[in-house]
Amino acid sequence: MALSDLEAVARNEEGIAAALGVLKQRFGERLQSGASVREQHAHTTTYIPGQPPDAVLFPDTQEEVQEAVRVCAEHRVPIVPYGTGTSLEGHVNAPGGGLSIDTTRMNRVLAVHAEDLDCTVEPGVTRDDLNHHLRDTGLFFPIDPGANASLGGMAATRASGTNAVRYGTMRENVLSLTAVMADGRAVTTARRARKSSAGYDLTRLMVGSEGTLGIITAMTLRLYGIPQAIAGGVCPFPSVEAACQAVIMTIQMGIPVARIEFINALGMRSINAYSKLDYPEGPCLFLEFHGTDAGVQEQSQMFGEIAAEFDGGPFRWTSVAEERTKLWKARHDAYWAGLAMRPGAKALSTDVCVPISRLAECIVETEADIAELGMPAPIVGHVGDGNFHVLVLMDMEDADEVARAEAFVARLNMRAIAMDGTCTGEHGIGQGKMRFLGSEIGPGVDVMRAIKRALDPHNIMNPGKMLVTPGG
């Protein structure tokens, strides 16, 4: 994606200068405008070119975020929330410059309510930090997008990952949140009850809003008891179709699978090479079951029978922690294993999600498309949800390759949409997928624009993301 393809946001030089002056006086060394810190805050795990902010603020409290937002609002200066910079669609870029608000220092776990299975955290707490904090409680937070992302960023992009099939996504697991809105007001979206019918669902409106409506300063998250037993294993299949049919039957039979991950033949080859393993090099499912000892044994056996029905298997499973860890490390290293297939290449990581009845068709068509592409592009997927990723390994110096990779992603997005799916199951729209939102949602985009205008009339919250010309 070239800079010229991104949604332009006019720079308000005068406003930026004035706001940064005020903020510098107020925050001193916690406002940074050196080139390296600015560039670092434009950097995401993406091939989209960086657009650095003019300065980066490191607030300690919600009140400081409110102060900063009020200053930016007064001077009409863009605000770009920043967590760990692991988003994939250019979410932290600053196309019109302005202020990056880095939540790293807001990293306190404010409360753990073990009896209620919830906790309240600041946005800079990462998912590993949280699970480390919870280690003596018997509880855990399940959402696992791969990267050790900040929980604020995960909420803002509606992240999910390998175990969403069992535990849901950030949509289901944020009970309530507090956000500083475009005018500096702090709004708490709900109380701590498990469910509520009181008014519009502001929690879900903010989850997935990608910083375009406000900046999240606290969240109450659902927690789960660590299961008594965990079992898992890898199961090879003769074809993509067979693997997908096994997934469908597993879900349909109500087996409460905790993870059911697909890796295609190329992906398996890359994993074997990278992690020095000897898994079968055809389409495979990686599985995990949570429950009681008897429960995970029953689930594993039932899945083995389903796999056999579709000529898959043998399904070798284990509840030994070490072996499971090895298995999931291999799965989580798929990104690095892919990169290792083409040293020096940059990865374009994209994701789509379709109804699972269309999943096999979508993956097979995409594999055929990849065969024509001339670049390695392994496929991995959270297939219990119909969600899969393609990692296109391209030479960024070769403009033709980049253009072909982008055209491939465009075809993939439109293929998923044509199959009644979405152009992004978990990465978000950011800058990378703005062109596809209209194809997917149609007139719903006008409703989104009306909401954006109502809540951020001057378009200062993460402008140039998600919605093309939100003021229009």
Minimum Å gap between C-beta 248 and its own copies is: 5
- Please enumerate in sequence order all residues whose Cβ is within 8 A of that of 52, keeping only pairs 6 or more positions apart, or say none: 35, 38, 39, 41, 42, 94, 97
**161 sits near its own copies (criterion: CB under 8 A):** no
Q: Where are the alpha helices (DSSP H) in 134-264?
A: 151-156, 164-167, 170-173, 202-206, 240-252
Distance, CA of 122 to CA of 44 (rounded, Å): 21
Q: Which stretch binds its own copies (CB under 8 A): 51-59, 92-100, 181-189, 275-283?
A: 181-189
**225 sits near its own copies (criterion: CB under 8 A):** yes
Instruction: Kindly identify the residues of this chain, within the stretch 252-291, that bind its own copies according to CB under 8 A.
Output: 252-254, 256, 290-291
Q: What are phi and psi of 3, to 5 degrees?
A: -55, -35
Q: Which stretch binds its own copies (CB under 8 A): 19-27, 309-317, 334-342, 451-459?
A: 451-459
Do 65 and 217 contact (CB within 8 A), yes or no?
yes
Distance, CA of 305 to CA of 253 (rounded, Å): 12
Please identify which residue in the block is written with the tokens 């439109």: 414
The structure tokens listed for 370 are 């990849």
Q: Which is nearer to its own copies, 394 or 437 (CB)?
A: 437
Of positions 119, 260, 437, 461, contacts its own copies by CB under 8 A: 437
DSSP helix/strand/coil, 108: coil
Minimum Å gap between C-beta 298 and its own copies is: 6
Of positions 7, 64, 118, 144, contacts its own copies by CB under 8 A: 118
Of positions 10, 35, 36, 200, contacts its own copies by CB under 8 A: 200
Of positions 37, 184, 445, 458, contacts its own copies by CB under 8 A: 445
Q: At what angle do helices 265-275 and 321-332 cross, to 10 degrees?
A: 120
**181 sits near its own copies (criterion: CB under 8 A):** yes
Question: Which residue type, as a one-letter code, is found at position 73?
Answer: A
Q: Which is nearer to its own copies, 353 or 392 (CB)?
A: 353
List, edge to edge, every strand of the sheet that includes 31-32: 31-32, 55-57, 99-102, 79-82
Give, rounded to a whole angstrom, the gap between the first and last alpha carbons of the chain: 24
Instruction: Kindly identify the residues of this chain, within the stretch 359-398, that bind its own copies according to CB under 8 A.
Output: 385-387
Instruction: Kindly identify the residues of this chain, within the stretch 30-69, that bind its own copies according to CB under 8 A.
Output: none
**444 sits near its own copies (criterion: CB under 8 A):** yes
Q: What are phi and psi of 263, to 5 degrees?
A: -135, 130
| Number of shown-chain residues binding its own copies (CB under 8 A) | 97
Q: Which is nearer to its own copies, 20 or 165 (CB)?
A: 165
Minimum Å gap between C-beta 416 and its own copies is: 8
Minimum Å gap between C-beta 289 and its own copies is: 12
Per-residue contact string for residues 138-157; x = within reach of its own copies by CB under 8 A: x------------------x
What number of CA atoms fall less than 13 Å from residue 340's CA on the CB side?
Answer: 16
**162 sits near its own copies (criterion: CB under 8 A):** no
**91 sits near its own copies (criterion: CB under 8 A):** no
Distance, CA of 27 to CA of 142 (rounded, Å): 36
**343 sits near its own copies (criterion: CB under 8 A):** no
Instruction: Kindly identify the residues of this chain, within the stretch 393-432, that bind its own copies according to CB under 8 A.
Output: 416-417, 420-429
Neighbours of 256 (CB within 10 A): 13
Q: What are phi and psi of 192, to 5 degrees?
A: -95, 5
